[in-house]
Amino acid sequence: MEYQGDLTSHLSEQPLSLDLANSVLPADASVLECELAWLEQCINDRIHAYFRKEEAKSDTSEQEALPQPPNLPASSEGRYVSLLQQLKLNTAERLVLILALATYLKPQLLDIFFAKNALYQRIYSEFGGINAKVHGGFLPTIETALFLLAGQNLSKRLFYMTVFRPEHRLFRQLILMPMPVNPDEPFTTGILMVSPELVERHILGVSARTPRELDFPAHPLTTQKAWSDLVLTSQTANQLEELQAWLEFGEQLQAKEDAKQFKPGYRSLFYGPPGTGKTLTASLLAKQYARQVYRVDLSQLVSKYIGETEKNLEKVFAEAEKNNWILFFDEADSLFAKRSQINNSNDRYANQGTAYLLQRIEDCPNVVILASNLKDNFDQAFIRRFQSFVYFPMPSKRERLQLWQQGLNHSSIFRPPSFSLESVAEQFELPGGVISNVIRFVSLMALKNNSTEITLPQLTQGIRRELAKEGKSV
């Protein structure tokens, strides 16, 4: 089967009406029509072969080979064909994908699976599927896909069942979504669903709400600040140079023929006291190199249930690899800490989880930044996997003075302070994050009092409030 017509010629036609002019492409429609026609042929061939075998009551093998999929066009103007070319799916994976998409694109094509077994007056168990309540059509399950792929050949069925394991790339890259299954029933009853993002981004061409799930355990970090707003020691700035070089030239290095000797991706540990600029630095790096940085929410990631932490982490890494995110694990020692002595089954599972996370981080082709207060909290086996260590110390008096000056002297609202910022910087050993909080507080108080002047009593009050959070006093 070949794609008919010149796909590129469609692109020169009049733009589509409404808001679809920049989303749905005629090239995608042409490709998907051929994919759906191939799916229909696969369904008909498999069902006809199945019933011929049933009628003959014979052990002769049915025609097992699937019809060949359509040849993809050489050009890749369409989003869907670009996705297929990028994924390099084999015939079975491609059939599973278009089967899952059929419920969106041509649901009537699956109505044939509603055929009833005349002997039992119910649909055929072999066909799988679920009769949707609202949709009204046939929702294919993993059982449906196995029927199309293997028919009644048990050896092939066992082989293709490996496609539907969580570690398969169709699930890892969030192409297919593993649907919850009743624990008392086989996993093959799971509905075969594509991720909504695939439909939105690669077919409809609309902005995907990534990630859309409310329980997605990572959230984007953004900042309006610039590098000039961040005060770093010369040592910290020098330690950041290699990471910056990777963000700029890493892809070029990996593309070289002799790059196989290098592990994919880049791992860096930011360590130092709270409020010293670790999170802001990650945000500024992403901003400088036009990347997105996602902060992993460990409270959502870590689960008390065995195996759930790994699943949550896999969800994050699948999205990150697909979108080339920078991943930022704050307070990472709570997740990647030293492995404990095995005293009970919980310790054993915890150590297994740590080992899995170490390997997953090491295999990730992205930039992964872990932030911690103390470097020594980390497992030594994991420390060896870092490419760089960046220390964020408490700012010195000179750096504290610079932070106070930048925050209080560069405002168009308030007059420069009449008191000595140098004496404040010398008296109070505060990190940059705390200084920023104090400046926010005194600015709000001044506005509340309809004043354009920051006073020393207000500043002292703000410092006292911040120290109280840590159980300290002025």
Report which residue type is found at 22. N
For residue 73, the tally of other CB atoms under 10 A from its CB is 20
**What letter does residue 203 receive in the DSSP assignment?**
I
Q: How far apart are CA 354 and CA 347, in angstroms?
A: 11
Mean pLDDT score across all residues of the chain = 79
* Number of other residues whose CB lies within 10 A of the CB of residue 231: 20
Distances (CA, A) of 95 to 61, 69, 91, 98, 284: 22, 8, 6, 5, 43
Contact (Cβ atoms closer than 8 angstroms) between residue 474 and residue 464 = yes
Would you say 227 and 221 are in contact if contact means Cβ atoms under 8 Å apart? no
The region of weakest confidence among 209-213, 264-268, 418-422 is 209-213
Beta bridge partners of 218: 296
Output 138 or 470, whichever has higher pLDDT: 138
Q: Which CATH number fits domain 397-469: 3.30.565.10, 1.10.8.60, 1.10.1740.10, 1.10.3080.10?
A: 1.10.8.60
Q: Give the 3-state secondary structure of residue 201.
A: helix
Residues 198 and 105: beta-carbon distance below 8 Å: no
Pairwise CA distance, residues 229 & 91, whole Å: 53
474: confidence class by pLDDT, cuts 50, 70, 90: low
Pairing of strands 266-271, 388-391: parallel
What the block records as the tokens of 181 is: 């299954």
Look at 11-20, 58-67, 168-177, 180-189 and tell me which has the smallest mean pLDDT: 11-20
301-337, pLDDT tens digit by residue? 665 555 666 777 778 888 888 788 999 988 777 666 5
Helix runs in 255-396, H state only = 278-288, 298-301, 308-323, 345-363, 380-383
Amino acid at 441: F
Q: Quote the percentage of the chain above a pLDDT of 70.
A: 76
pLDDT band of residue 78 (cuts 50, 70, 90) is: confident
DSSP state of 174: T
Reply yes or no on whether the pLDDT at 263 is more than 50.
yes
358-372 residue pLDDT tens: 777 888 889 999 898
Neighbours of 59 (CB within 10 A): 6
Question: Would you state the pLDDT for residue 212?
Answer: 47
Q: Say whether pTM exceeds 0.95.
A: no
| DSSP letter for each residue of 25-57 | -HHHHHHHHHHHHHHHHHHHHHHHHHHHHHHHT
pLDDT at 388 over 80: yes
CATH number of 218-391: 3.40.50.300
Per-residue pLDDT tens digits for 49-62? 888 865 545 444 44
Which pLDDT score is estimated for 178? 64
Nearest of 354, 359, 358 to residue 341 by alpha carbon: 354
User: Measured on CA atoms in the order 338, 342, 344, 346, is the torsion positive or negative?
Assistant: positive
pLDDT band at 106 (very low <50, low <70, confident <90, very high): very high
pLDDT band at residue 410 under the 50/70/90 scheme: low
Instruction: Give the pLDDT of residue 331.
Output: 79
Angle at 199 between CA 194 and CA 203, to 5 degrees: 135
- pLDDT value for 326: 94
pLDDT at 5 over 50: no
Compute the distance between CA of residue 407 and CA of residue 438 in angstroms, rounded to an integer: 10
According to DSSP, residue 219 is labeled: E
Torsional sign, CA 336, 342, 346, 349: positive
Yes or no: say if 393 and 276 are a contact pair by the CB < 8 Å rule: yes
Cα→Cα distances 466→12, 330, 430, 440, 459, Å:
62, 21, 10, 11, 11
Of all residues in the chain, the percent with pLDDT exceeding 90 is 30
pLDDT at 245 > cutoff 60: yes
Parse the chain into domains and list their residue ranges: 7-204, 218-391, 397-469
- pLDDT of 343 > 90? The answer is no
> pLDDT class for 228, splitting at 50, 70, 90?
confident
On whether the CB atoms of residues 293 and 286 are closer than 8 A, the answer is yes
The amino acid that residue 457 corresponds to is P
